């Protein structure tokens, strides 16, 4: 194949691709932090490039991806169902396992019905575009996950974005909206970069006052926080007040896929209308069995949620004590603000050299000057893991002039 660097005869439509050089530039500096292949993992530690490092950037919140019980559950169904469904749920891709999981998730989330999707991304993208149609209005938090954003973009509804968690602006926008239009407020329950909770009580109040539906994406909340791990609304005892709640299986449930729960009439409408559901192959049996086992473990072992909360509180407190800006995190997602993008990449690499793996997050995913490393924790991290992570952060933070030895921040706080 011809060397693409020497290829100057490409169609204009590909010009943007050939002009995209920043990734290669970062790679040449030895600072590229993305698409790192994991060669082995036991959950809390991973082998990358031949070395073992502590995983402090995973969404494996309950630590179940390597639990012998979830592994055995996945293996056991392959002999019965094979490796895949080779079709959509709408046609030949529905297994009794899918129906069992939908029933158990609806019961767990205390809603009438549940529909499964093949990924968490598809769940939001595929549900929002169907439930909000022409002449409807979507009110969307500016910090919502990309899958929500795409769902609003492909919907025929008009989307109105409000400042992150700004209930005053949301009220003003609702007041100005056509009172006859259908309305739905869509927001992350836990925001994936900041680790902050949505203001669910205020959202419920506004939804009721302005006759709007309320949709929570609880990908980072279900199996993480709230009553029995039921998510952000349950933190406030308001699950009955939220119309639709989505979740994912790629985090606490140690698998892949997603789901939406709500009133049966609404869920059945989405089940029959969503292109993402109708035209995608269904979750493979091993994935479904893993989720079923994870849901069982979540309910039988509440210590995992308790340990996760204990770890989250400890790490937030200790990182702040070291002088780091961790924004207003309230969950196992704890961002550590570094500032400059290039310094963030160097910070990431130095942490990796110290034996800690985190995630580098740079603009436009975060505001300019607020590049950060996103840390996240799991119930199976040991105290030794946590203290090793803190030691690495202290050493690297001092090296890069982000904190001093007295636990003071040396960069401007958000």
What is the per-residue pLDDT for 8? Answer: 66
Sort strands 136-141 and 158-162 into parallel, antiparallel or unpaired.
Answer: parallel
CA distance 131 to 358: 36
Mean pLDDT of 140-153: 97
Residues of the chain with CATH 3.40.640.10: 68-300
**What is the Cα–Cα distance from 191 to 164, expressed in whole angstroms?**
10
Report residue 413's pLDDT band, with 50, 70 and 90 as the boundaries: low
pLDDT of residue 9: 81
Give the pLDDT band (50/70/90) at residue 411.
Answer: confident
DSSP bridge partners of 360 = 373
Tally the residues of the chain. 414
- The pLDDT of 3-31, averaged and rounded, is 85
Per-residue tokens: 374:
């996103």
Confidence of residue 303 (pLDDT cuts 50, 70, 90): very high
Strand pairing report for 258-262 and 244-248: antiparallel
Ranges of CATH 3.90.1150.10 domains, the chain: 21-55+303-399
Q: Looking at the predicted structure, is the pLDDT value of residue 6 above 60?
A: no
* Res. 328: pLDDT tops 60: yes
Average pLDDT over residues 159-180: 98
- The predicted model gives 203-215 an average pLDDT of 98
411: number of Cβ within 10 Å: 20
Phi first, then psi, for residue 132 (nearest 5°) are -110, 110
Q: Are 291 and 249 in contact (CB under 8 A)?
A: yes
Q: Is the pLDDT of residue 257 over 80?
A: yes
**Considering only CA atoms, which of 62, 70, 121 is closest in space to residue 376?**
62
Average pLDDT over residues 169-177: 98
8 Å CB contact between 57 and 334: no
CATH architecture group of domain 21-55+303-399? Alpha-Beta Complex (3.90)
For domain 68-300, give the CATH number: 3.40.640.10
**CB count, 10 Å around CB of 126?**
29
Task: Give the percent of the chain with pLDDT over 70.
Answer: 97
Whether 414 has a pLDDT exceeding 60, the answer reads no
Catalytic residue set: 192, 220, 251
How far is Cα 337 from Cα 410, in angstroms, rounded to an integer? 11
Per the confidence metrics, is the pTM higher than 0.85?
A: yes
């Amino acid at each position: 194949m011809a060397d693409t660097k020497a290829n100057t005869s490409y169609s204009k439509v590909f010009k943007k691709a050939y002009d995209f050089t920043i990734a290669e530039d970062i790679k040449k500096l030895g600072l590229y932090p993305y698409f790192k292949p994991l060669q082995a993992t036991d959950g809390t530690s991973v082998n990358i490039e031949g070395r073992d490092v502590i995983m402090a950037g995973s969404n494996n919140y309950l630590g179940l991806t390597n639990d012998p019980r979830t592994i055995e559950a996945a293996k056991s169904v392959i002999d019965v169902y094979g490796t895949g469904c080779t079709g959509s749920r709408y046609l030949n891709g529905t297994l009794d396992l899918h129906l069992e999981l939908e029933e158990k998730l609806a019961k767990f989330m205390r809603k009438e019905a549940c529909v499964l999707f093949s990924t968490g991304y598809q769940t939001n993208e595929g549900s929002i575009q169907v439930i909000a149609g022409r002449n409807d209005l979507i009110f969307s938090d500016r910090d919502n996950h990309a899958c929500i954003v795409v769902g609003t973009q492909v919907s025929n509804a008009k989307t109105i974005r409000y400042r992150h968690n700004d209930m005053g602006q949301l009220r003003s926008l609702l007041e100005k909206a056509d009172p006859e239009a259908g309305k739905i407020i869509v927001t992350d329950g836990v925001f994936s970069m900041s680790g902050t909770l949505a203001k669910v009580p205020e959202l419920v109040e506004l939804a009721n006052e302005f006759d709007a539906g309320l949709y929570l994406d609880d990908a980072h909340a279900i199996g993480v926080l709230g009553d029995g791990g039921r998510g952000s609304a349950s933190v406030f005892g308001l699950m009955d007040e939220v119309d639709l709640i989505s979740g994912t299986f790629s985090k606490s449930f140690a698998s892949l896929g997603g789901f939406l729960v709500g009133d049966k009439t609404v869920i059945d409408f989405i089940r029959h209308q969503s292109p993402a559901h109708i035209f995608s192959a269904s979750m493979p049996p091993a994935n479904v069995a893993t989720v079923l086992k994870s849901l069982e473990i979540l309910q039988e072992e509440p210590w995992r949620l308790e340990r996760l909360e204990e770890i989250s509180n400890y790490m937030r407190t200790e990182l702040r004590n070291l002088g780091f800006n961790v924004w207003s995190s309230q969950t196992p997602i704890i961002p550590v603000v570094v500032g400059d993008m290039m310094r963030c990449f160097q910070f990431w690499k130095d942490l990796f050299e110290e034996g800690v793996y985190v995630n580098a997050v740079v603009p436009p995913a975060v505001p300019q000057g607020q590049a950060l490393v996103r840390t996240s924790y799991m119930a199976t991290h040991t105290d030794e893991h946590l203290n090793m992570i803190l030691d690495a952060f202290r050493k690297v933070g001092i090296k890069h002039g982000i904190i001093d030895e007295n636990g003071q921040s040396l960069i401007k706080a958000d």
